[in-house]
């Protein structure tokens, strides 16, 4: 039967290719959005680990974590707790680097553990006046090295060193002194988040709950799931993917149904002949259905490749390439193939039934 399926599809190359390409475009869109969504979730999870922190403190009720406003004094208050070893305020400034507006500028206290834990790969750790530390990803993209100049906000700063932290959007950003970042953003004595390192004997979940009770109006994130619930970006992408997947199933199913129905009408005598030589209804239906599934899976495979290649372009188009790295998972690949299979099955049901309703006697000239 496999040989017959391949032969039938090859006889109608233009129609099969057109159908597969239509399905591929829908699947590619789904894969690209799923990859960017997974990247957004991973980036949100990394908010927990700024400076390898155990917890991240943000203002409650904000849709975008970078819009959070917290007093710097909250860090000192948290450090007085027995379950907290260190707390350091951070100010996240978006669109601070003119040459790469998507890069995040981190305002950090020079003596805080966030700055102290940056691994310097070149130059020195210097957050003095007129200095900036640059992540190795941003340095590579902008061809910066120690001694280069970088405009941050409206100021031209000297790159004191290049660092690596292992966190994608930290390494794609830059670090300046907290006070300088506050002046640049006009944020007074405010911070965006407080990175918290728990005491060695503190229980993670217990400390998280205790801090949340002690400081009303904040959100304490200690896991990627907590982080993804702060903003609406990941949820929005997820809902968009669901809508597009539903539309792809409907539109793709109709395209396959139309293509296979036309093929059945053109091959009525052929199907009648197969029935006359002993092919049962189930076998004929399986042949028609398998051709639809084969076309859809081919389209899904092409769409998978296009989606993986296009995910990076999508993140750049959305302006989040410096903070989100598209993440293709096994589940993403599985979803794409399942959608292709579902399109083939849904689109092939009616043509398969139509193929079994052909009367061999009528078409072959019988009484």
d(CA 286, CA 42): 42
**What percent of the chain stands above pLDDT 90?**
32
Per-residue pLDDT at 150: 95
Q: Are strands 174-177 and 104-108 parallel, antiparallel or unpaired?
A: parallel
Per-residue pLDDT at 239: 56
Domain boundaries defined on the chain: 2-43+233-363, 55-221
Please, what sign has the CA dihedral across residues 121, 124, 125, 131? negative
Q: Mean pLDDT throughout 58-81?
A: 88
Enter the pTM of the model.
Answer: 0.62
d(CA 171, CA 138): 7
Average pLDDT taken over every residue of the chain? 79
Q: Mean pLDDT throughout 65-93?
A: 92
Flag whether pLDDT at 362 surpasses 70. Answer: no
Instruction: For 57, list phi and psi in degrees, rounded to 5.
Output: -105, 130
pLDDT 10s digits, 164-202:
998 887 898 999 999 999 999 888 899 999 999 999 999
Residue the block writes with tokens 């944020």: 187
Structure tokens at 87: 């707390």
More confident position, 180 or 273: 180
Torsion of CA 213, 215, 217, 219, to 10 degrees: -70
pLDDT band at 299 (very low <50, low <70, confident <90, very high): confident
d(CA 301, CA 340): 8
pLDDT 10s digits, 21-43:
777 877 787 777 777 766 666 66
Q: Mean pLDDT throughout 279-290?
A: 77
Structure tokens at 166: 């292992």
Per-residue pLDDT at 196: 94
d(CA 218, CA 191): 13
């Amino acid at each position: 039967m496999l040989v017959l399926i391949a032969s039938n599809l090859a006889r109608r190359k233009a129609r099969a290719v057109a159908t597969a390409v239509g399905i591929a475009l829908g699947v590619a869109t789904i894969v690209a959005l799923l990859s960017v969504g997974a990247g957004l979730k991973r980036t949100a999870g990394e908010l927990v680990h700024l400076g390898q922190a155990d917890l991240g403190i943000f203002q409650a009720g904000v849709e975008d974590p970078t819009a959070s406003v917290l007093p710097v004094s909250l860090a000192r208050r948290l450090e007085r707790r027995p379950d907290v070893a260190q707390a350091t305020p951070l100010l996240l400034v978006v669109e601070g680097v003119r040459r790469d507006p998507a890069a995040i500028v981190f305002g950090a206290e020079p003596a805080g553990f966030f700055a102290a834990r940056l691994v310097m790969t070149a130059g020195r750790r210097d957050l003095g006046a007129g200095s900036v530390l640059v992540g190795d990803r941003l340095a590579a993209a902008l061809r910066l090295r120690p001694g280069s100049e970088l405009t941050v906000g409206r100021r031209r700063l000297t790159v004191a060193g290049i660092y690596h932290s292992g966190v994608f959007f930290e390494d794609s950003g830059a670090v300046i002194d907290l006070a300088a970042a506050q002046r640049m953003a006009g944020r007074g004595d405010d911070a965006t988040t407080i990175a918290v390192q728990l005491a060695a004997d503190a229980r993670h979940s217990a400390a998280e709950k205790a801090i949340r009770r002690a400081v009303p109006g904040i959100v304490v994130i200690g896991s990627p799931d907590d982080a993804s619930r702060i903003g609406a970006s990941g949820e929005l992408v997820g809902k968009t993917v669901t809508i597009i997947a539903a539309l792809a199933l409907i539109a793709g199913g109709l395209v396959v149904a139309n293509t296979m129905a036309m093929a059945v009408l053109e091959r009525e005598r052929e199907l009648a002949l197969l029935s006359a030589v002993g092919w049962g209804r189930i076998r004929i239906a399986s042949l028609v259905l398998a051709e639809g599934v084969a076309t859809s899976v081919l389209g899904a495979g092409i769409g998978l490749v296009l989606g993986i290649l296009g995910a990076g372009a999508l993140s750049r188009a959305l302006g989040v390439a410096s903070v989100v790295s598209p993440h293709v998972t096994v589940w993403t690949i599985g979803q794409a193939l399942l959608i292709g299979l579902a399109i083939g099955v849904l689109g092939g049901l009616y043509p398969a039934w139509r193929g079994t309703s052909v009367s061999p006697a009528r078409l072959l000239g019988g009484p």
